[in-house]
Amino acid sequence: MHSTPDFSLDVEGVNGVCPAGERWAEQQLAESRIPVFSCEGPCIRGDIARLAANLVAKQEPYARCCHAETFFVPYSGMARWAKGAEKVVMIDGCFLKCHGRALKSIVGENKIVHFDALAIHKRYKDVFLMDDVPEAERKEVAQQVAEKILATLAEAAQPSPALQGPSGR
């Protein structure tokens, strides 16, 4: 199996921010929404992760966060929202966890609730292009992944019975 040591990238600086992204991030900050990130790859696994993240983000208290602005515009509202959030949800497309590996250096590994969409749906291991899978099927699988992720998040949000008093409170 191939392996690489840790590495870094030099990224050219930028002036300005995305005005729409700034408004969005400020609104999400004000509402204490939990940022949701996803793989954005062109492969079927990345597309399912992206579609699932869009579905998860439609549920309270979640909202989509722009990975590009968070990663590459460190003074942006999007980055401020992600860094200031109590936790973030990261849905990667496969075991490589490309976005999640980068995100942990930005927000801290302990704040990431990380999902591998491929491990959830266990399909398309030998397919690359998303267009090789019909759109309706991609959406159906993404829905299944989103439902599993939402169930896992809801379960994790429940207080442990061992921490509750005798009356269950």
Q: According to the model, what pLDDT value does residue 166 have? A: 52
Q: According to the model, what pLDDT value does residue 168 have? A: 47
Name, in order, each residue with C-beta under 8 angstroms of 106's C-beta and a sequence gap of 6 or more.
70, 71, 79, 82, 83
Residue 37 domain-assigned (yes or no): yes
Residue 103 domain-assigned (yes or no): yes
Q: What is the CATH number of the domain that holds 78?
A: 3.40.50
The tally of domains found in the chain comes to 1
Residue 70 domain-assigned (yes or no): yes
Residue 7 domain-assigned (yes or no): no
Domain extent for 97: 26-153
Residue 129 domain-assigned (yes or no): yes
Residue 140 domain-assigned (yes or no): yes
Percent share of the chain, pLDDT over 70: 93
- 146-158 pLDDT, tens per residue? 999 999 999 998 8
- 14-56 pLDDT, tens per residue? 999 999 999 999 999 999 999 999 998 789 999 999 999 999 9
Mean predicted confidence (pLDDT) in 3-9: 87
Residue 165 domain-assigned (yes or no): no
Residue 82 domain-assigned (yes or no): yes
